């Protein structure tokens, strides 16, 4: 679900890869190969480029004492800090939501330790609607704070920006687990390629975590790693925090019943409908079908990555009654067609695989954004597949008046210790 939105409330090489692949296919066609074989050859070339490092930029160096001061300024726990860190922004090749070649960016944080071989923590972030607020381009502590926490404890930490955020081209396909998964996997590959430049080796052990929107992303990445998507990486443990795992069965009812903070319900609903219409199609032809005037004229612009969070929030109404038309409410209450199918796929992170590594689901009672029924439903989904997944209550912690955001701080403090015990 969220990170930056709520706090505000309280490439060229990819094109070259496409051109090269198409040229190969055209050349093969001239030699008489079957058309299907031409396409397969082109796809194989593009697939080989996934995770290829386009650029790496050193961002900051901090001593251990500087890390402690920096993290503490936003309430992150500093008990696990043992090292200073170096942070880097990577741009790498990946695929978009339709499988086409593109680029994405992300953050790598390395400890300033003597260890040459490092285990890796993948942290997938919560919702943001503004490109610069992604971990690798954010100028605050919240965006990169969790990744820095894990690196300061001795791990290599990677935090993908996702598609369309940070330096990624295009519009972010919000809460699209398949593309969040591919971007996260390819970020791991890019980090592996980059590490030797900094005198390090990623030893293949991967610990996976994420918050809110990133909690589902974390489970998606864990599922694909366990399935052997890349033989170099070995999944060791999974620990998502406060996810909206069951949007149809838990989150949508909470949005409609007033169990989610009203302004956030408006922001999430708008983001969901506009983003999924872009990504999946078939939800509306014109925004005015679902959104009332004057908001219908602005909702797509608010969530195209170029509108700062405060502007978006100020431009949206305070209640769903003021936002949605009767047809808008009908879509949410009785999902059908491509919307229903997207909801089904979204929930598969808890219903379509059986973890074979330790998994813990972290939540905070009274979460005002990702209601805790999501976590309970996820645990039940794993239980139905024969996997016992503990649910960990992180205790009481507020950030900017939000229990949801506070759960990221409290959960990260607990998870870094657990991962350390397992490494």
Do 9 and 402 meet the contact criterion of CB atoms below 8 Å apart? no
Token look-up 């909206």 returns 244
The whole-number pLDDT of residue 48 equals 55
Digitized pLDDT (tens) for each residue of the chain, 423 residues in all: 444 454 444 433 333 333 333 333 333 333 333 333 333 334 444 445 999 999 999 999 999 999 999 999 999 999 999 999 999 999 999 999 999 999 999 999 999 999 999 999 999 999 999 999 999 999 999 999 999 999 999 999 999 999 999 999 999 999 999 999 999 999 999 999 999 999 999 999 999 999 999 999 999 999 999 999 999 999 999 999 999 999 999 999 999 999 999 999 999 999 999 999 999 999 999 999 999 999 999 999 999 999 999 999 999 999 999 999 999 999 999 999 999 999 999 999 999 999 999 999 999 999 999 999 999 999 999 999 999 999 999 999 999 999 999 999 999 999 999 999 999
Q: Are strands 117-124 and 156-160 parallel, antiparallel or unpaired?
A: parallel
Which pLDDT score, from 0 to 100, does residue 29 have?
A: 34
Closest listed residue to residue 134, CA positions, set 75, 46, 209, 214: 214
Per DSSP, 130 falls in state: B
Helix, strand, coil: what percent of the chain each, to 5?
Answer: 50, 20, 35
Residue 84's pLDDT is what?
A: 98
- Beta partners for 62? 85
Q: Provide the 3-class DSSP secondary structure of residue 171.
A: coil
What is the full DSSP assignment across 4-67?
HHHHHH--HHHHHHHHHHHHHHHHHHHTT--HHHHHHHHHHHHHHHTT-EEEEEEEEEE-HHHH
The answer to whether 208 touches 234, Cβ cutoff 8 Å, is: no
Cα dihedral sign for 6, 416, 228, 41?
A: positive
Q: Give the per-residue pLDDT at 413.
A: 98
Q: Is the Cα dihedral 388, 389, 395, 396 positive or negative? A: negative
Q: How far apart are CA 231 and CA 357, in angstroms?
A: 16
pLDDT at 33: 32
CATH superfamily of 4-246+345-422: Alpha/Beta hydrolase fold, catalytic domain (3.40.50.1820)
pLDDT of residue 5: 54
The distance between the two most distant Cα atoms of the chain, rounded to a whole number of Å, is 67
What global pTM score does this model have? 0.90
Residue 294: asked if its preceding bond is cis (omega within 30°), the reply is yes
The residue ranges of every structural domain in the chain are: 4-246+345-422
């Amino acid at each position: 679900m969220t990170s930056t939105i709520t706090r505000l409330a309280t490439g060229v090489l990819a094109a070259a890869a496409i051109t090269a692949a198409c040229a190969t296919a055209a050349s093969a066609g001239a030699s008489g190969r079957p058309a299907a074989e031409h396409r397969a050859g082109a796809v194989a070339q593009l697939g080989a480029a996934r995770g290829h490092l386009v650029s790496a930029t050193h961002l900051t160096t901090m001593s251990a004492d500087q890390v402690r001061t920096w993290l503490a300024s936003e309430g992150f726990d500093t008990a696990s800090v043992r090292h200073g860190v170096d942070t880097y922004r990577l741009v790498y090749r990946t695929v978009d939501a339709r499988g086409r070649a593109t680029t994405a960016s992300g953050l790598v944080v390395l400890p300033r330790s003597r260890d040459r071989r490092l285990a890796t923590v993948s942290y997938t972030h919560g919702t943001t609607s503004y490109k610069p607020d992604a971990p690798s381009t954010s100028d605050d502590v919240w965006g990169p704070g969790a990744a820095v926490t894990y690196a300061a404890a001795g791990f290599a930490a990677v935090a993908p920006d996702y598609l369309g955020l940070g330096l990624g081209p295009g519009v972010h396909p919000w809460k699209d687990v398949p593309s969040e998964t591919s971007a996260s996997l390819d970020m791991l590959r890019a980090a592996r390629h980059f590490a030797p430049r900094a005198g390090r080796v990623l030893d293949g052990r991967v610990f996976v975590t994420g918050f809110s929107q990133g909690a589902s992303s974390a489970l998606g990445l864990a599922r694909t790693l366990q399935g052997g998507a890349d033989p170099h990486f070995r999944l060791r443990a999974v620990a998502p925090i406060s996810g909206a795992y069951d949007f149809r069965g838990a989150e949508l009812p909470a949005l409609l019943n007033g169990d989610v903070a009203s302004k956030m319900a408006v922001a999430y609903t708008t983001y969901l409908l506009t983003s999924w219409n872009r990504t999946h199609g078939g939800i509306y032809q014109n925004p005015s079908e679902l959104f009332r005037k004057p908001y219908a004229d602005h909702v797509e612009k608010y969530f195209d990555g170029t509108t700062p969070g405060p502007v978006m929030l100020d431009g949206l109404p305070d209640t769903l009654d003021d936002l949605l038309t009767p047809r808008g409410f009908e879509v949410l209450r009785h999902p059908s067609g491509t919307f229903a199918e997207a909801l089904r796929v979204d929930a598969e992170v808890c219903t379509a695989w059986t973890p074979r590594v330790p998994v813990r689901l972290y939540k905070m009672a009274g979460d005002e954004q990702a209601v805790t029924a999501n976590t309970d439903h996820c645990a039940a989904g794993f239980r139905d597949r024969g996997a016992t997944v503990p649910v960990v209550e992180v205790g009481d912690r507020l950030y900017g008046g939000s229990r949801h955001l506070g759960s990221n701080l409290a959960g990260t403090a607990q998870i870094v210790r657990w991962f350390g015990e397992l490494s």
